[in-house]
Amino acid sequence: MKELIKKQVGTDEYAIYLHANGTLICKVNSVYKNEPEYFESDFVKKVWFVKPREWTIKEYTEMLQEAKDLGASSDSIKEYLDTWSINEESFYNFNN
């Protein structure tokens, strides 16, 4: 998953969705452009459209906090913190 996210960093936009099982899943923009109904499913709790060229650490942190509040697993949160080079201790201190 981490490699897929890293490949998307230079793109204009990609999607991350919170699966009903608590996993955060990254999808390339072709999925939601070509199959918008993909996210209209019972297994999708929330979708974020990430804009890596525009987002700052603040947007990433807010997205992860919302995901955490909606039930994202600690492992998924940690994976994205690592991928986006956000200090885990700072994230949890900021959001508690």
Place of tokens 């929330």: 46
Can you give the pLDDT at residue 1? 47
Helix pair 57-69, 74-83: axis angle to 10 deg: 170
Q: What is the pTM of this model?
A: 0.79
Q: How far apart are CA 62 and CA 57, in angstroms?
A: 8
> Tens digit of pLDDT for each residue in 27-55?
877 777 788 788 888 899 999 988 887 88
Can you list the pairs that 23-26 forms with residues at least 24 positions away whose Cβ atoms lie under 8 Å?
Answer: 23/72, 23/73, 23/76, 24/67, 24/72, 24/76, 24/77, 24/79, 24/80, 25/1, 26/1
| Predicted confidence (pLDDT) per residue in 65-91, tens digit | 999 999 999 999 999 888 888 888 777
Q: Which domain covers residue 63, as residue numbers?
A: 2-94
The number of distinct structural domains making up the chain is: 1
